[in-house]
Chain A
Amino acid sequence: MEFRRDVFQAIADPTRREIISLLASRPANVNEIAARFDMTRQAVSLHVKVLEECGVVRVVRAGRERRCSVRPERFTEVYDWLDPLRKMWESRFEQLDEVLQKVRTTKPKKS
């Protein structure tokens, strides 16, 4: 069986989302991540491996240590994905801006 390895796969799992959030605030090694979750180092290691394969986390090996950091640029795909919905609201509100402008100019001035 072949698994998808992309940003959507990376964030499909709640634990992986939490790891991403953690790494977004600062880089950490696998032990530091494991200390923050109620799970084994092996389990964290596996999640990190998936995150690396999905391209959203960079792992730098220095001796026995593996330093993990987030690659924020990889999340533009997610951003773009929501963009049409955001644009729909923006376009709607630009129309509302025009309506409000019209209301204001036709309203009799308060004395």
Chain B
Amino acid sequence: MKRSLLMNFSVDRDKRAIHVEREFAAPVEDVWAAWTQKELLDQWWAPKPYRTVTRSLEFRDGGIWFYSMVGPQNDTHWCRADYEDIRAPETFGIYDAFTDEKGNVNNEMPRSRWKIDFRSSDDDSTMVHIVIRYDKAEDIDKIIELGFREGFTAALENLDAIFEGNVE
């Protein structure tokens, strides 16, 4: 039986944060493994049509995941995630960056700090809550505007009530 899984997604520009929450139909240790082991990460991390190729991954505080996302024309984007605040299997943080092919951080692109929390819920499912924080409001604009309309400055959470259809 396939049931629909909850996903919440919101952008809070004032707090310079993106929130993503999603439920997974698997026990917490499996979900944790999928987020922290390179063999598994390589199978899902990059959004289609990209694929993930891990160069190295050292999962410990101060350790680094160095990988690339490769597109259909073999266009390659190098990235790294520096691990911090690991408390298995409940939470870990990463400080992400785009890099060159040697892993040197590209400071022209915004960096963000992620906190990923795992919470076991009923019937063997797991809730994952991701908060991605940017240093500057401009950074979040840059990320959001990639491919979208420019100039948007709303705190969308304030507008949730409208989307939920409070119509007369």
Contacts and interface: CB of A to CB of B under 8 A. Distances in A.
Contacts of B156: 78, 82
A47 to B, nearest CB: 15
B26 A104 contact: yes
A72 B30 contact: no
Given A72-B163, A99-B43, A17 B155 contact: yes
Contacts of A18: 158
Contact of A95 (B11, B31, B48): B48
Interface residues of A, number: 38
A86 interface: yes
A70 to B, nearest CB: 6
Contacts, number: 110
A61 to B, nearest CB: 17
Interface size grouping (class) on chain B:
35 or more
Interface in B30-63: 30-31, 33-34, 40, 43-48
B126 to A, nearest CB: 9
Contacts of A1: none
A12 B153 contact: yes
Contact of A82 (B25, B144, B151, B168): B144
B147 interface: yes
Interface in A49-86: 69-70, 72, 75, 78-79, 81-82, 84-86
Interface in B3-29: 5, 7, 9, 11, 18, 20, 22, 24-26
22 contacts: A12-B153, A14-B155, A24-B162, A27-B168, A75-B162, A78-B156, A79-B163, A81-B148, A82-B144, A84-B147, A84-B148, A91-B48, A96-B24, A96-B34, A96-B44, A97-B5, A98-B44, A99-B44, A100-B30, A101-B26, A103-B40, A104-B30
Given A12-B151, A75-B163, 17 more contacts: A20-B158, A21-B158, A21-B161, A24-B159, A25-B161, A72-B165, A75-B159, A78-B154, A82-B9, A89-B20, A89-B47, A92-B46, A93-B5, A95-B43, A96-B44, A100-B25, A103-B33
Interface of B: 5, 7, 9, 11, 18, 20, 22, 24-26, 30-31, 33-34, 40, 43-48, 144, 147-149, 151-156, 158-159, 161-163, 165-168
Interface of A: 8, 11-12, 14, 17-18, 20-21, 24-25, 27, 69-70, 72, 75, 78-79, 81-82, 84-86, 88-93, 95-101, 103-104, 107
**9 interchain residue pairs of minimum CB distance:** A95-B44, A100-B26, A11-B154, A24-B161, A96-B44, A24-B162, A88-B47, A86-B9, A72-B162
